[in-house]
Structure 1
């Protein structure tokens, strides 16, 4: 007889719940029984009593014993697969449409002919039982820069969509501003323009401005839709006023939709085609948005009958569903127009989009996918020296076993939608593909949960191959041994932020030491700009927030002085160099890195001092609100195009071919 605690730990291991973890100081934190039960319960696994644990263990073992083949098979497209079977069986492989691809009778093994890239279902049957397996037929690796462009390296610019100024956006950067910005960047030779997530934030989420807290990652933000009549020039202020802008823009969109029946027939027909192609998923999302306008952005506070999709929710939302479908149609058309403009201007990749870690617990994605979402937990980070209690990001998690049972369809749909609009996709917090830290709502300590890493990489590679999209995995932080090698082996580029790449002495490493199979940048939206880094603006903010003592502030300024001295030596900077010279020299040096892609920050090219976001703050810092100093119509004049061309190495448009590390 298994002891109760041993049985609980055995069940936890079976479902990928870690029995403990080591913090940044190396101290071990064992997972308490309360934590194990809460995390298992979040997955829908009953571990509430000793009897339930024993019963669930037995059921899990029985399922494994009865299966002819594994629940999931990862194959390499174009190669044969042989699967041992426990008994002779008849088998058949179906594609995504349900059409038969191959079939046969197995004795000791099922031998599959080479499959193309895609998803298939293997059915195996004996007289007494049937087994169904998902076959992930993945390419050898996701598309690389040489695969897409024929060149070994490339470069581009990253900036913010909300920060774009124009003569017509009325206060917030719009999808219609992108073509002018993309053309201006293309004139400098940039091959992409990277944006923060443009996921749907939610029609009723009036207070939400962070692009990393969406209502649904598979639909697009309506804030950036440009009304046909325009909203006038961007106000002169440096910061976005979201409430004022949203009132004006949403009223304009409502008025435009009210006149839609009078638009030319081809437009109306195009919208009907979009609705038909969107199918039940688009219908359900639009129902959520319509209901949220009446009941609020968090469905957990709605009337009980509306807290899940169904006939009653559809009836309650019916009057406004068409409007919210139309909004998504307008968003997608404007994004597609921007991507077409980028490619026409000569960009190799065009838009570079971002996939956020998760969606808000009360948002549309959770409402629509309750069958795969972990209940009673949120994604966060473990305790560390800055957050001794850990931190919750207030984002929902998909339960691994449930997501696998759904054949990863929610993830597949999100990736497919985003990759259809862009040449590069960045996966935020790529470590979450291996494991994620769940924090129970009941107050129990959090713990790590393993994710189906190989399967998730296969799904990403399949979708990327079908879309010919390069993928970047944001792999910052404490990276477990072997993680980066497997990520790169699947074709996903790493993410190298130069100001974080410091050896033990804190000095920035030479750019030649940055990882080759990576996207390299000096900073991100979460870090200081080059000017801010040079003058210690980030340290000033930390001191202002009370996060540093006097001694810690002094120590950080001393380290920054040494880092500046190192940059002077690496970049041949004189002691009294101007901010413009410093930024240009640092960017030029960064572009000598061996990395497959280099990203310059638009804020740096325009001489910005302040960061777009200060992690750990909400209202204390103007996060997600800073505007560019120039309009997109004058961006070509403001960008130092000649300087960029002068310092961009020739090998960023060469023909040397390099693939992923293995």
Structure 2
């Protein structure tokens, strides 16, 4: 075997893709530098031909000596058998360490009617002992009908940071979330979806993107509502994070000092219980936050003794870690209250949270999980319809084999935390469950790495089943054949953005062709708003930034006119119709689609033109800074929200009912 063939064979066996199909439908091969870099990220030494040969030999040796699989997915409640090579004794151990079954076998271990959960199968034969990690998922994740009793539902999505109120000081907070969700629930919405609320990091002064967290298993403290309030926010449309954080953090510091000095015994006891229940992960996260204040947000630049959790880090963090534990307690308290308020308002699902793709590479999640993180790479996306230049997100990825070796514990814990706070969870870039696009630090072109799709789906469905949480997988982009079927088969709803659902000529699909087992929407935080789409504002931004060659802007505006004509045809929109009526007509037709879940954007309901985010940009566009034009206290009286129940009935309406709703919304 030649050196190049050996490298390709090692890559294939390790799950590194040798080629992929790009946006133009062309096969794009991964060159040797990419293969070596991605193998290195997986923890497979491949920098020399000798190292490649050694790695291949090691893999062959393990295949010859390993008698049982390292893990197996066995659907709960169904009989299953694991073949064994001969006489052996075995025991099945549950998550809590309790031995639940024992036996002996000559040819196979029969495991019937296992409950939902995780187990370890210990097997011993003549001179050998091995373990098999068993994932026992339910038939599928909870469905909308199981969770709510309805086959169809609808809700509203909006940026938490963009909420205005008389007390938040300029950035939406968890108390505003409760008020907004309550008002929307009384308007008939069954969920309120918001941007990720993962922790961004106390020392990350420049970080504002909710999709660039320090840790996805802890919460954003920028959204904590101080007990004293901060007064009304500025009247401007854009958020000044630096000014807000200065005032907000001073209020939190003062509140914590008062809690330590004179907090009620009831609150003190509740805080202690929270810390005990959260355990070591909270201690490590709090230590990281305290150390980041001393040494900066990226732990790679810290003194060597503090670059991993442990006694040295705890001692250096000192009493300051207590403040960061308290912040997480306050955040969780307020999110729980917001969910309770949402449900009390009539929302059957309540909060709709978002799981970001990954954490920042220098953040707490990487620091706390060094043994599972891929080295020397960041994750992103190849060129697609969201970003013609491709995207490098500068986020870390868990290496599949390392994550499996740790029994998927980081993912399990993270999902448990989030799903326990909401009724609906969106998994951003769900394609990453099947394959991830990794970009090497050495500058080599990016490539795809396979993920343990079946095992990851098992973890998601187990945790969703335990929490009673409905799950949506954001499956936009270059979708491989069979992926959606696998996603839907596990009970995860797809994600259908109407402005992307088009034929090769750009004609948008009829709403009745939207996928039934999906959450459908016209726009998202990553797309132009409905008004922006209609007027081609996104095309103007692309031209301003320099993404469009000379003359292409005119071509794109021509395509957009074609897309507008398709919407006119589908929705009965006349040539002289104003944007308010256009928006109502589009939402009216979206409501009549077969999609199980339909989401409307606050931006679209309020007629906002500019988008919340322009993917692929950082400073060229004011991402994550836009405020809504209406304060949460005014939501009950806001015209578009007060009339929205007429436009979005919960169940399949008749055409006559829908027409009455449309007319009511336009009065």
Same fold, TM-score > 0.5, yes or no: yes
2:513: which partner in 1?
513
Determine if the alignment matches structure 1 residue 416 to structure 2 residue 449.
no
Cα distance, 1:140 vs structure 2: 0.8
1:450: which partner in 2?
450
CA contact (8 A) 2:388 2:547 kept: no
1:536: which partner in 2?
536
Query: What are the within-5 Å matches in structure 2 for residues 140-219 of structure 1?
Result: 140-219=139-218
2:479: which partner in 1?
479
| 3-state SS in 1 of match to 2:165 | coil
Measured in 1, the distance between the counterparts of 2:405 and 2:534 equals: 50
CA contact (8 A) 1:153 1:653 kept: no
Gaps of 5+ in 2: 655-667
Cα distance, 1:639 vs structure 2: 4.3
Measured in 2, the distance between the counterparts of 1:388 and 1:626 equals: 24
CA contact (8 A) 2:90 2:121 kept: yes
CA deviation map 1:505-549 (0-9, x unaligned): 212111100000000000001111111111221122222222224
1:611: which partner in 2?
611
1:567: which partner in 2?
567
Q: Return structure 1 stretches of 4+ with deviation > 6 angstroms.
A: 384-389
| 3-state SS in 1 of match to 2:161 | coil
CA contact (8 A) 2:79 2:112 kept: yes
Measured in 1, the distance between the counterparts of 2:46 and 2:545 equals: 43
Determine if the alignment matches structure 1 residue 630 to structure 2 residue 630.
yes
Cα distance, 1:302 vs structure 2: 1.0
CA deviation map 1:131-186 (0-9, x unaligned): 11110000111111011111101000000100001111001000011111011101
Cα distance, 1:390 vs structure 2: 5.1
CA contact (8 A) 1:154 1:596 kept: yes
Determine if the alignment matches structure 1 residue 317 to structure 2 residue 317.
yes
Determine if the alignment matches structure 1 residue 437 to structure 2 residue 437.
yes
CA contact (8 A) 1:155 1:652 kept: no
CA 392–648 in structure 1, closer or farther in 2 if over 3 Å, else same: closer
1:106: which partner in 2?
105
Determine if the alignment matches structure 1 residue 492 to structure 2 residue 492.
yes
| 3-state SS in 2 of match to 1:366 | helix
Work out the number of aligned pairs and report it.
653
Cα distance, 1:122 vs structure 2: 0.6
CA 148–383 in structure 1, closer or farther in 2 if over 3 Å, else same: closer
| 3-state SS in 2 of match to 1:76 | coil
| 3-state SS in 2 of match to 1:239 | coil
Cα distance, 1:578 vs structure 2: 2.0
CA deviation map 1:244-280 (0-9, x unaligned): 0000011111111111121110100000001001111
Cα distance, 1:315 vs structure 2: 1.0
Residue range with higher mean Cα deviation, 322-331 or 32-41: 32-41
CA contact (8 A) 1:85 1:109 kept: yes
CA contact (8 A) 1:151 1:653 kept: no
1:302: which partner in 2?
302
Measured in 2, the distance between the counterparts of 1:643 and 1:512 equals: 24
CA contact (8 A) 1:68 1:87 kept: no
Measured in 2, the distance between the counterparts of 1:19 and 1:642 equals: 54
CA contact (8 A) 1:475 1:484 kept: yes
2:287: which partner in 1?
287
1:135: which partner in 2?
134
CA contact (8 A) 2:156 2:601 kept: yes
Residue range with higher mean Cα deviation, 148-157 or 546-555: 546-555
Cα distance, 1:594 vs structure 2: 0.3
| 3-state SS in 2 of match to 1:646 | helix
Residue range with higher mean Cα deviation, 565-574 or 491-500: 565-574
- TM-score of the pair, normalised by structure 1: 0.96
Measured in 2, the distance between the counterparts of 1:22 and 1:115 equals: 40
Measured in 2, the distance between the counterparts of 1:366 and 1:290 equals: 16
| 3-state SS in 1 of match to 2:425 | strand
Gaps of 5+ in 1: 655-662
- TM-score of the pair, normalised by structure 2: 0.95
2:553: which partner in 1?
553
| 3-state SS in 2 of match to 1:279 | helix
2:665: which partner in 1?
none
Measured in 2, the distance between the counterparts of 1:439 and 1:478 equals: 17
CA RMSD across the alignment: 1.7
CA 274–40 in structure 1, closer or farther in 2 if over 3 Å, else same: same
2:362: which partner in 1?
362
Measured in 2, the distance between the counterparts of 1:359 and 1:306 equals: 19
Residue range with higher mean Cα deviation, 450-459 or 435-444: 435-444
Cα distance, 1:550 vs structure 2: 4.8
1:342: which partner in 2?
342
Residue range with higher mean Cα deviation, 331-340 or 633-642: 633-642
CA contact (8 A) 2:226 2:255 kept: yes
| 3-state SS in 2 of match to 1:373 | coil
Cα distance, 1:649 vs structure 2: 4.1
Measured in 2, the distance between the counterparts of 1:198 and 1:587 equals: 27
Measured in 2, the distance between the counterparts of 1:18 and 1:388 equals: 22
CA 641–241 in structure 1, closer or farther in 2 if over 3 Å, else same: closer
Measured in 2, the distance between the counterparts of 1:511 and 1:531 equals: 18
CA 652–344 in structure 1, closer or farther in 2 if over 3 Å, else same: farther
CA deviation map 1:11-44 (0-9, x unaligned): 2122111122232233333222222221111122
1:264: which partner in 2?
264
2:124: which partner in 1?
125
Query: What are the within-5 Å matches in structure 2 for residues 213-292 of structure 1?
Result: 213-261=212-260, 262-292=262-292
1:372: which partner in 2?
372
Cα distance, 1:93 vs structure 2: 0.6
CA 429–386 in structure 1, closer or farther in 2 if over 3 Å, else same: closer
Cα distance, 1:576 vs structure 2: 1.7
CA 402–590 in structure 1, closer or farther in 2 if over 3 Å, else same: same
